[in-house]
Structure 1
């Protein structure tokens, strides 16, 4: 999956002034921004070291959640 991380301030200022605020309007604003500036997109790729570290943290968390459930049950 391709991931494009953009500063929210850029989206706000490049989208112009707009009244009202809702999740639906914000999603539409982000989609329009992505279409307009697709040629300037820089795709994000996480370094391998970080991915390995995250995998280890997730497995430790899963183990702790499982242990917690056991202690609550007894």
Structure 2
């Protein structure tokens, strides 16, 4: 759920500053299938079809409830931590593989070349983990 609407969070935050009914749409494929075989494709026709779909299925709509600010901050930090770990692993895995196949000298050269980047990523990961801990401890009080 946390990553599901990550790219829409700025839109949500601006829309939810005032009382607003916000409903997240289903997958575009569901709208397309609900229309059957429909010809014609342009923005005006697509907008009309989306509105018609929303009108027909309004009884199935579920209102979006914004996450608590702390929960949203946790989700954002966890996402950033995950991306940093992936970046660190993309540097470390080739070095480890080279050592396993007996290319120790090449692995050492590569490790020296990436050393500052790996250390910086590890520091950032620790800083994010400290932020996560601070949010959790602050929420428990």
Q: TM-score w.r.t. structure 1 length?
A: 0.61
Higher RCO (CA 8 Å, separation ≥ 6 residues): 1
Aligned partners of 1:26 and 1:51: how far apart in 2? 35
- Pairwise CA RMSD of aligned residues? 2.0
The number of residue pairs the alignment matches comes to 54
Bigger helix fraction: 2
Q: Which protein is bigger by CA-based radius of gyration?
A: 2
Runs of 5+ in structure 2 lacking a partner?
1-19, 77-141
- Runs of 4 or more above 2 Å deviation: 51-54
Question: Residue 38 of structure 1 aligns with which residue?
Answer: 58
Q: Is 1:3 the equivalent of 2:25? A: no
Structure 1's unaligned 5+ residue stretches are 55-74
1:67 corresponds to: none
**Which of the residues 37, 43, 50 maps onto 2:72?**
50
Residue 38 of structure 2 aligns to a residue whose secondary structure is coil
CA distance in 1, matches of 2:21, 2:73: 16
Taking structure 2 as the reference length, what is the TM-score of the superposition? 0.34
Shift of 1:16: 1.6
CA spacing shift, 1:45–1:20, aligned 2, 3 Å: same
The equivalent residue for 1:19 is 39
